[in-house]
Structure 1
């Protein structure tokens, strides 16, 4: 009897997360063409195969480096069908700056699905053939090199300030609405380079040259690109991407979405898509969320000092 009673619990633990009953509205805080959009497209494909009866409809409300969408996400219906793409460290940095209409505590993440390491790139036509060339040029003419990135007070912005501080240089940060907009400028050599993420460098490897990456080891798709650690700086960092929901969403609905996204991450196709694009999959669901957000908020609040935020 004891064995029979225990059996259903085991089955339930291994059962696939139920599919949404209706179409999912997946809101993006950045324009089409960037890493957040690419992630959503991957999930859209895998979710359709898993839940054929419903569609994932991707919507865009870009502006203020993601801040426009995150300021408005709690006005969406908390029906378990409205899902919003969220990013770290953005949702910590922006409220500290004080120019957005939301606080970090207003954002309700339910699953963090991947991480993208920082990378420094220059246009393929750039005279800077390697990192040493770049640093030499920056030191020779302080303030003249313009480096693009996605948003103000974002992971890219923080990485830019870290680059300047760590290597004793002065370059100028040029914020764009998202990676898609920044791509046009850096590929077209309208700017000197960009502090961006590994997926951009991999997707555009014939158009840009990666000079250094913030990983523990060299990226398998960029074996010739040194890590910042190899260059003498202990720098392993980047951006996290996940999904959040309006605060009015019930705990049960949050848990269902968290479990569903975890199972999407476990699909072989998702793992293959992530690896090809340079995404490092992570799995932080609602059960781990409180501790994860507490630790990351503390870490990024300390890092915000480089941006002069919260002073």
Structure 2
């Protein structure tokens, strides 16, 4: 093929004017940081480490764990809200307090409905109500009946005000028309200690399972959809007539604005990691199940959770003014 002399300059000009095409950098192109807003060695830390190790094999980059405990487990959420890069290399596990803390605080440091890109929901904690093994209360019905005839005398330990254990226990109390007194403690180990020492009547949430196995505590109910294989004698709330299923499900997120292809890459890698045998073994040891939700369903679940928290906190008079 030949070109006329008149066409060649035009062809050259056209080539010069064509926009340069740059290949998009591969994601991830460096290690990913995963914030876990709890201390090393706890149940969430062990589960997330197993999951991240499996996911790193699919992503081709290591996932570096950063433990940032304290401040009601919201330090990871704050870090995401302040991340300007929004390139998918910073992630955080998002516990239930992330959804209630902004509702109880003036000028909150983030908005759970606007500041995050939700990636995947993973699993949920084993929640329930437990008492000391020598407690006079053999069943939840007995505890509730005592609370009805002795207003204000039944106390329960939780890890925070406004968290899932607190709000769920208040929903249970509302269902039965009784008053239960929340006593919040700082860490997960303090609630069982308070029960065993007799400081409180019961504890709500997680952290009681091993004490039940050892015979030091008695579980009165679990909040899962069905009885736990590890505790087949313990009824669910639904069996006791309370229409509540609550596991404190959690997953992780990235900062708002992370491009959709990156969200998809992260989701797919962690979705595959969920069923890694080492990760499933960690879940089984903690009596936890996979509770998977993809990005859209996870975001919708967050909206429902925030709305429910707002309603319960409003009834308790705990919404920020």
User: Would the aligned equivalents of 2:128 and 2:222 in 1 still touch at CA under 8 Å?
Assistant: yes
User: Would the aligned equivalents of 2:86 and 2:255 in 1 still touch at CA under 8 Å?
Assistant: yes
1:260 maps to which residue? 269
Alpha-carbon separation, structure 2, partners of 1:41 and 1:279 = 15
TM-score (norm 1): 0.79
1:233 maps to which residue? 242
User: Would the aligned equivalents of 1:93 and 1:309 in 2 still touch at CA under 8 Å?
Assistant: no
Structure 1 residues 241-287: Cα deviation after superposition (integer angstroms, max 9, x where no partner): 11111225333332222222111112233223213312221222225
1:29 to 19, 34, 37: 37
**Local SS of the residue matching 2:208:** helix
User: Would the aligned equivalents of 1:27 and 1:61 in 2 still touch at CA under 8 Å?
Assistant: no
Q: Structure 2: any 5+ residue segments left out of the alignment?
A: 1-25
Pair 1:130-2:139 in alignment: yes
Q: CA RMSD in A?
A: 3.0
2:116 to 99, 107, 130: 107
**Local SS of the residue matching 1:253:** helix
Larger radius of gyration: 2
**Local SS of the residue matching 1:204:** helix
Alignment length (residue pairs): 290
After superposition, residues 1-311 of structure 1 pair within 5 angstroms as 20-32=28-40, 34-47=42-55, 54-63=62-71, 65-76=72-83, 77-88=85-96, 90-99=97-106, 100-104=108-112, 105-197=114-206, 200-205=207-212, 206=214, 207-310=216-319
Alpha-carbon separation, structure 1, partners of 2:67 and 2:217 = 29
Q: Structure 1: any 5+ residue segments left out of the alignment?
A: 1-17
Structure 1 residues 221-257: Cα deviation after superposition (integer angstroms, max 9, x where no partner): 1111112222222222231111111225333332222
TM-score (norm 2): 0.77
Alpha-carbon separation, structure 2, partners of 1:171 and 1:292 = 28
User: Would the aligned equivalents of 2:38 and 2:67 in 1 still touch at CA under 8 Å?
Assistant: no
